[in-house]
Structure 1
């Protein structure tokens, strides 16, 4: 199924509110207009998850006395999509700066004319700042650039060293990297060893693992030219069956996405490994601490990922056409995404930079992360980013991940259906929600 850009755009605006409700799922300063000496402007910004911007907002306000920042942070990217598309459909309510997640950037591109072309504010002068595919992701079919790149999502494996030791597995991160080197089938095989030794699950839940697998394919839910690519995709079905076999062998802890029993499951040994793009490091630490744990709980970060390099997530800062302060908003978004700020953002939240200089800084000056057993997480992620090219994401990519495959995988995790039935349920939901 492939529609013309104009047809798709009209459909996206008309149906944005209803589609959004289906989704549940990471300048060099100067104030510009309203930010000059003696002038005042209040800029609103909406982010989601853990961006690590709080201290940067204060720093910007201190350097630009005429600017006040009012920030809203939504808990998940999926809920942020709901918020954004509801307001786009209403024609009002968007902040001066809106964070857009990679997973629903394709849907935003259907209505890209609702956002400012940042070439009007000099973004082309910064094109070489970012890894090339990041800049291209934010460029619409008409050549308009609608987002300043924030982070990207190179992936490694978070693992609990204490649980590995209890199962007779190595816990040293270099040895763990060697142990887990290989494809997803190998990762599941090691998980079976762990499960047989402990009787406990290997990973938290299958939705995140499935997303990681799909992100590594040359083409995911869409082909590179925008065709829906699910129902007759033999590679996708083969990987679904592989995951189903792992679930059947007890490797999934069947956790609820974004819950983990209030964080306690990160502390009580419910699972031993966790798929970790850079921005998930903050999720692991935050949930462990919420569950009563700390650095002694045993979490570590290994320079390895099943199947090799992969990218999960990343975001952009965009300025809606409805903003009354476009120049000042662009100046703030530009500043927040400069290499210096991206390094600070990483230190605050683990979000790995999309700018080349920031990546080089983290690789050259590794800082031990106390929570992750002093792992040099910046250096590890810089290495994991090598060879990563983001997969094309179509307009309903996040809907397919969360609302088409999410419920069947949850049911499969809980033992309510078998693998074949779960696949059939996903295809039925695909026809209902996307076709």
Structure 2
């Protein structure tokens, strides 16, 4: 679903700002303690759009010694990083890790500095707890500080809703559309008066959000497969219900048809993370000012959000930590939000002036009034290193239900069977 600047901003393979990529070490010994010598240069890797430009520029100016060499890496960032780790040279001191990749990096925690060893305990409480837990190993090592998070909300067209007999005021929408059943019922009513307006843009896109509203996923902390249990089946059935009610627009987010549908009112709603606002704003022309924000039906979820980590190759881990602590402070997270809609992982930022601005695009609403409470209420769920791979069959099989090639029960059985096989190959019980 994440078809936005989080994954699609990539330019060339390595667009470098401020110079070429420079490694601070000639090799990597993952079995030794982090280096303690003084660095003359600290290298920092991230992907295009991952950090606010003004924050990067300010951080480079704030730390003249050692010099910070910042590089934007296009293409498959995770694969580039892993290849560099395995090659043993050119490894950055500080590197971003995308939220969808952090779980798979936890078993490789020896490649990163445990931030608790360089002073992180003094700032971990500044970030939402559930996000810190995503970068924490089962034995308590913390390998990353959060760059951002992706709390969800309901984006909707106030004009389309009211013409279809639904409430338009955000508070009333939140009250009437408290659950997915409420949301789907509203979609049925809307379709009666406006057959082209389907309240669910793409039911298969909705699946990850529904799963993310729970406290369990596909693998438990004791490394047992639980993807066949009621919490996943409930998320599955929720998505299938939207298909059965024929309020599913089958239009993938980020596609040209999605862009057009948002502006034309045939896609009158979208449930997505805070950063989706940029995608909607860039997609529409005639519906500026007609959009509103309300709470996500059935509760908040998170979609996206990344981390900064320090590699074991860092020449000066203590200095590297000072850099990421400064870059990811509440003041700088607020600045990154103002620059590029990079939503802060530090609740203290929510009271900064940059986040209290009324947005004319949303009819004068202040987005933080919706996203702030959501960010604080997102449930904590354990995400296993194998989670992404184990989840994929469920997403694939939902598409067969959507296309009509399989019944829900048949597709479910196939998804569970495939997921169990993948889990077993990855060492899950």
Q: Which runs of 5+ in 2 are unaligned?
A: 1-6, 10-23, 25-38, 425-429
Q: Tell me the secondary structure at the aligned position of residue 246 of structure 1.
A: helix
Distance 1:85 1:261 in 2: 35
Is 2:328 the partner of 1:299?
A: no
Flag the 1:92–1:237 CA change in 2: closer, same or farther, 3 A.
farther
User: What aligned pairs does 1:145-164 form with structure 2 within 5 A after superposition?
Assistant: 145-164=142-161
Q: 1:411 maps to which residue?
A: 400
User: What aligned pairs does 1:257-406 form with structure 2 within 5 A after superposition?
Assistant: 257-261=253-257, 263-286=259-282, 288-289=283-284, 293=285, 296=288, 298-302=290-294, 304-323=295-314, 326-361=317-352, 366-401=356-391, 403-406=392-395
TM value normalised by structure 2? 0.79
Flag the 1:93–1:158 CA change in 2: closer, same or farther, 3 A.
farther
Q: 1:249 maps to which residue?
A: 245
Task: Check conservation: 1:52, 1:346, Cα contact below 8 A.
Answer: no
Distance 1:101 1:433 in 2: 22
Q: CA deviation at 1:245?
A: 2.2
Flag the 1:85–1:247 CA change in 2: closer, same or farther, 3 A.
farther
Q: Tell me the secondary structure at the aligned position of residue 98 of structure 1.
A: strand
Q: CA deviation at 1:68?
A: 4.6
Flag the 1:80–1:193 CA change in 2: closer, same or farther, 3 A.
farther
Q: Tell me the secondary structure at the aligned position of residue 99 of structure 1.
A: strand
Deviations along 1:120-160, whole A, 9 cap, x unmatched?
Answer: 43212213322334334323234322111222333211112
Flag the 1:295–1:331 CA change in 2: closer, same or farther, 3 A.
farther
Task: Check conservation: 1:219, 1:391, Cα contact below 8 A.
Answer: yes
Distance 1:427 1:89 in 2: 34
Distance 2:251 2:185 in 1: 21
Q: 1:54 maps to which residue?
A: 53
Matched residue pairs, number? 388
Q: Tell me the secondary structure at the aligned position of residue 405 of structure 1.
A: helix
Distance 1:53 1:297 in 2: 26
Is 2:190 the partner of 1:194?
A: yes
Q: CA deviation at 1:91?
A: 4.7
Task: Check conservation: 1:96, 1:319, Cα contact below 8 A.
Answer: yes
Which range moves more in the overlay, 131-140 or 148-157? 131-140
Q: Tell me the secondary structure at the aligned position of residue 381 of structure 2.
A: coil
Distance 2:86 2:204 in 1: 29
Distance 1:81 1:257 in 2: 23
Distance 1:205 1:168 in 2: 22
Q: Which runs of 5+ in 1 are unaligned?
A: 1-23, 27-32, 34-38
Distance 2:339 2:399 in 1: 32
Q: 1:5 maps to which residue?
A: none
Distance 1:83 1:105 in 2: 15
Q: Tell me the secondary structure at the aligned position of residue 318 of structure 1.
A: strand
Q: 1:6 maps to which residue?
A: none
Q: CA deviation at 1:94?
A: 5.0
Is 2:72 the partner of 1:72?
A: yes
Q: CA deviation at 1:330?
A: 3.1
Distance 1:313 1:400 in 2: 18
Cα RMSD after superposing both structures: 3.1
